[in-house]
C-alpha cells in the first residue's frame, strides 16, 4: 500500500514520529545518533501508534549549519535499511538534497519531507521519477542558519504562505508530479515570529483551500515554549492539545516527538 492510498482510507489524523539522527537538533539532538538507539526509539514510537517515522540526518533548527551529503547519508542510511527490514512502518526522510532524496527513494521510502519545497536543482525531477512516493513541500523564509534573524512579511502572512505553496504545487504539476502526491506544510517556526506562527495556526483553513493533505509540525517549538515553558512534559501536552484542535477537512499529518502523548490528545477529539 502506498502512503497516499493509506491517507485516503483514514478519517483520523496520521501520526508522524520524529527521529533525528543528528547531534544538534533543537529538542533531541544527540540522543539517537547511535543507530541502535535510533532503531530502538523508532520501534518505541511505532508501538505507541506512529503511522510513519520521519528520519532526518541534518538539523534544521534556527542557526543550524548544513552538513555534507556524505555525512547525511552516513547517518540516515543504516536507519532506513533497518526500518525497511525490521518493520512495516511508513518512512519519511527529511532532506532537501536531491542526491539524498534519490538514495531514500531507491530504498523505497514513502515520503520526501523537504523544508525547501523542492527548490534545489534536480529535486523536482528526482521526485517525479518515483511515482509511488509522496512529497511534503514546506514554507520557509530564509535558511535554517538565518531564518530567525528578524523575519518579516510584506503582506498578510497566511496569504503569502498560501501563494508560495500554490506556486510550488503548480510547478510540481507542470513537471509531471500529480497533485495527489503532494503534502503541504506551512512551516511553523521557519522564518516566523511568535505572532506569525499563531496567526498561521488560526488561519489554517486558508492553507487548507489548496486541497492537499496538511502536515502540522508544532512539536516542542518556540511558539509553544513561550506559552508553557521548557518542561518537556508540558511541551508535549501543548503539542498534543494544539495539534488536536486543528479543524480542517483535509487529511492531517501530525509530526511529533512524543507519539504516545499526541495520540492521547488526538483520540480525545475523534
Q: Which helix H or strand E contains 77, and what residues bound it?
A: helix 69-86
pLDDT averaged over 10-residue windows placed end to end, the chain, 270 residues: 93 96 62 84 97 92 80 96 96 98 98 97 97 97 63 84 97 98 96 95 98 97 96 97 96 97 90
Give the model's pLDDT for residue 149: 59
Give the model's pLDDT for residue 57: 93
Are 53 and 19 a contacting pair, CB within 8 Å?
yes
Give the model's pLDDT for residue 22: 84
Please tell me which residue in 75, 192, 255, 263 is annotated as part of the active site: 255
Per-residue burial over 141-164, b if 16 or more Cβ lie within 10 Å, else e, is bebbeebbeebebeeebbeebbeb
Please tell me which residue in 75, 116, 192, 221 is annotated as part of the active site: 221
Give the model's pLDDT for residue 26: 47
Give the model's pLDDT for residue 69: 97
E-assigned strand segments in the chain = 14-20, 52-56, 90-94, 111-114, 134-138, 182-185, 214-216, 252-256
Give the closest residue to 189 by CA, choosing from 162, 236, 223, 237.
223
Give the model's pLDDT for residue 128: 98
What are the two backbone dihedrals, phi and then psi, of residue 53, each rounded to the nearest 5 degrees?
Answer: -110, 130
Catalytic residue status for 74: no
What are the two backbone dihedrals, phi and then psi, of residue 62, each rounded to the nearest 5 degrees?
Answer: -55, 130
Look at residue 90 and give its three-state secondary structure: strand
d(CA 270, CA 265): 9
Residue for grid cell 508560495: 164
Give the model's pLDDT for residue 257: 96
Catalytic residue status for 221: yes
User: For the chain, which domains are there?
Assistant: 3-268 (3.20.20.20)
Q: For residue 17, list its beta bridge partners.
A: 53, 256
pTM over 0.95: no
Amino acid at each position: 500500500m502506498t502512503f497516499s492510498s493509506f491517507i485516503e482510507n483514514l478519517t483520523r489524523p496520521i501520526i508522524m514520529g520524529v527521529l533525528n539522527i543528528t547531534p544538534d537538533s533543537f529538542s533531541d539532538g544527540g540522543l539517537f545518533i547511535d543507530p541502535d538507539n535510533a532503531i530502538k526509539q523508532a520501534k518505541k514510537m511505532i508501538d505507541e501508534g506512529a503511522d510513519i517515522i520521519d528520519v532526518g540526518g541534518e538539523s534544521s533548527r534556527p542557526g543550524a549549519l548544513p552538513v555534507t551529503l556524505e555525512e547525511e547519508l552516513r547517518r540516515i542510511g543504516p536507519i532506513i535499511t533497518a526500518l525497511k527490514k525490521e518493520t512495516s512502518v511508513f518512512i519519511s526522510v527529511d532532506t532537501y538534497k536531491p542526491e539524498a532524496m534519490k538514495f531514500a527513494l531507491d530504498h523505497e521510502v514513502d515520503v520526501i519531507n523537504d523544508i525547501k519545497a523542492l527548490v534545489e536543482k534536480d529535486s523536482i525531477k528526482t521526485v517525479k521519477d518515483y511515482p509511488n512516493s509522496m512529497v511534503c513541500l514546506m514554507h520557509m523564509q530564509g535558511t535554517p542558519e538565518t531564518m530567525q534573524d528578524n523575519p518579516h512579511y510584506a503582506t498578510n502572512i497566511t496569504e503569502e504562505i498560501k501563494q508560495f505553496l500554490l506556486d510550488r504545487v503548480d510547478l510540481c504539476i507542470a513537471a509531471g508530479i500529480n497533485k495527489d502526491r503532494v503534502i503541504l506544510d506551512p512551516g511553523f517556526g521557519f522564518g516566523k515570529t511568535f505572532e506569525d506562527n499563531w496567526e498561521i495556526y488560526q488561519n489554517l483553513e486558508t492553507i487548507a483551500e489548496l486541497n492537499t493533505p496538511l502536515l502540522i509540525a508544532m512539536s516542542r517549538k518556540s511558539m509553544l515554549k513561550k506559552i508553557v515553558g521548557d518542561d518537556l512534559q508540558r511541551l508535549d501536552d501543548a503539542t498534543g492539545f494544539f495539534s488536536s484542535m486543528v479543524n480542517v477537512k483535509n487529511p492531517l499529518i501530525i509530526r511529533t516527538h512524543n507519539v504516545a502523548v499526541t495520540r492521547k490528545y488526538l483520540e480525545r477529539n475523534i
